[in-house]
Amino acid sequence: MVKIKKTVEELDPYVPGRSNADLARVYGLDPADIIRMGSNENPLGPSSLAIQAINKNLHLINTYPESNIDDLKDQIASYAGVNPNEVIVGGDGADEILDVLAKTLIEPGDEYIVHPPSYMYYEFTFSVYGAVPVYARWDVEGNCLDVDSVLEAITPKTKVVFLCTPNNPTGGLIAKKDIKTILESTDALVVVDEAYWEFSGVNNLELLEEYDNLFILRTFSKVMGLAGMRIGYGIGQKEFIEYMHRVKPVFSLIKLSYIAASATLSDPEYIKESTRLSIDSREFLYDEMSKFPELKVFKSFANYILVDIRNTGMNSKKITVKLMENGIIVRDCSSFRGLDDYWIRVSVATMEEDIKFINVLKSILG
């Protein structure tokens, strides 16, 4: 067998959510009846304008994507309230932006800081390039960042500090004053992942004017309802964005994704309704799950809720299997660094689906 790169050999595989087809095959279910509450997807579906635009342009899939997407950058900049030259757009969601960041910054042996439990793809991306993870701490019980643990983890080798707010999978926010403290404590790039910022109403864009080592990561997969189109974007200093473009694939954003993103940004009413529906679902699920004495439910500012299930007498694998047998997918969080085998994450759904989930949960917990 060919010799595999050492960092790849040592890397644990990423554990994605279960697909409808997989679940239907294993449990003998109708895929159309399965409720997806495990992948933080948008229950409203995509914008009707995005669907119309895709249908109108299907005949173009034999041609290469646009290499100049200045018009989309203009739209994103207008939406975010920044300058277009501070924006970089990529395919494969925000994950490609992470890959470009690693290509731009990382030399083997460089360190990066993460605060488990958090989004695991930071590690999957950066470790492949020979970067060394240094672990700070998210205080799960308090659902807040242990800022001192981040400051203590900073060394001269630190190249990047990842801060996820709202944090995935806990749903907690990082206070702006804490982000400023970290920015002022290092010359490393501080990447603030705001994939779910619309559900919290809190962002950190104004800090870009004050700190040249801040980079903000965002996605079209959540409130924009385009997870299947894989569109992400980053916001940072103009000079740094220019360096990123040197190593970014030219045609990474496929033509239909580009068209769908542009159409969605042209539909502010959809974005407003998408945000409202997800927040309503989140608050309903929080209130209803909090009524179960066996569950410890954590307040969330995202479109998902973290739940401690250890008092149910079941672990996360057992309870997720029971839910899947009833056609409901939630996330088993045992694969998250920093969590044990007694945590699940429940994503928002339509109100009808939420009610079904609560009823199934009642039957499981007796």
* Residue-range domain boundaries for the chain: 6-45+269-365, 48-266
Q: How far apart are CA 173 and CA 85, in angstroms?
A: 28
Residue 25: the pLDDT is: 82
User: Of 24-28, 189-193, 312-316, 338-342, where does mean pLDDT reach its minimum?
Assistant: 24-28
Comparing 33 with 224, the larger pLDDT belongs to: 224
Q: How far apart are CA 169 and CA 333, in angstroms?
A: 8
Kindly report, residue by residue over 265-301, the tens digit of the pLDDT: 999 999 999 999 999 999 999 999 999 999 999 999 9
Q: How far apart are CA 305 and CA 254, in angstroms?
A: 32
Residue 7: the pLDDT is: 76
Task: Yes or no: say if 194 and 203 are a contact pair by the CB < 8 Å rule.
Answer: yes
Residue 14: the pLDDT is: 67
- The rounded mean pLDDT for the chain is 95
Residue 346: the pLDDT is: 98
- The answer to whether residue 231 scores a pLDDT higher than 80 is yes
Mean pLDDT on 132-147 = 98
The pTM for the full model equals 0.95
CB-side neighbour CA atoms (13 Å) of 90? 24
Q: How far apart are CA 165 and CA 202, in angstroms?
A: 9
Residue 243: the pLDDT is: 97
Residue 163: the pLDDT is: 98
Q: How far apart are CA 167 and CA 170, in angstroms?
A: 6
User: Of 13-27, 183-197, 202-216, 338-352, where does mean pLDDT reach its minimum?
Assistant: 13-27
State both tokens at 274. 């998408």
Report the 3 state secondary structure along the chain: CCCCCHHHHCCCCCCCCCCHHHHHHHHCCCHHHCEEECCCCCCCCCCHHHHHHHHHCHHHCCCCCCCCCHHHHHHHHHHHCCCHHHEEEEECHHHHHHHHHHHHHCCCCCEEEECCCCCCHHHHHHHHCCCEEEECEEECCCCEEEHHHHHHHCCCCEEEEEEECCCCCCCCCCCHHHHHHHHCCCCCEEEEECCCHHHHCCCCHHHHHCCCCEEEEEECCCCCCCHHHCEEEEECCHHHHHHHHHHCCCCCCCHHHHHHHHHHHCCHHHHHHHHHHHHHHHHHHHHHHCCCCCCEECCCCCCEEEEECHHHCCCHHHHHHHHHHCCEEEEEHHHCCCCCCCEEEEECCCHHHHHHHHHHHHHHHC
Residue 66: the pLDDT is: 79
Residue 9: the pLDDT is: 76
Q: How far apart are CA 132 and CA 127, in angstroms?
A: 6
- Phi then psi for 181, rounded to 5 degrees? -60, -45
Q: If pLDDT is split at 50, 70 and 90, which confidence band does 28 have?
A: confident
Q: How far apart are CA 269 and CA 277, in angstroms?
A: 12
- The answer to whether residue 27 scores a pLDDT higher than 70 is yes
What is the C-alpha end-to-end distance of the chain, expressed in Å?
Answer: 52
Give the whole-number percent of the chain exceeding pLDDT 70: 98
Q: Topology of domain 6-45+269-365, per CATH?
A: Aspartate Aminotransferase, domain 1 (3.90.1150)
Kindly report, residue by residue over 308-336, the tens digit of the pLDDT: 999 999 999 999 999 999 999 999 999 99
State both tokens at 312. 């149910």
Residue 70: the pLDDT is: 94
Q: How far is CA 9 from CA 108, 125, 127, 291, in A?
A: 16, 14, 11, 45
Task: Yes or no: say if 27 and 325 are a contact pair by the CB < 8 Å rule.
Answer: yes
Q: How far apart are CA 252 and CA 103, in angstroms?
A: 15
Residue 358: the pLDDT is: 98
Mean pLDDT on 346-353 = 98
Residue 17: the pLDDT is: 66
Query: Which CATH number fits the domain 48-266, given the four candidates 3.30.413.10, 3.30.70.330, 3.30.1130.10, 3.40.640.10?
Result: 3.40.640.10
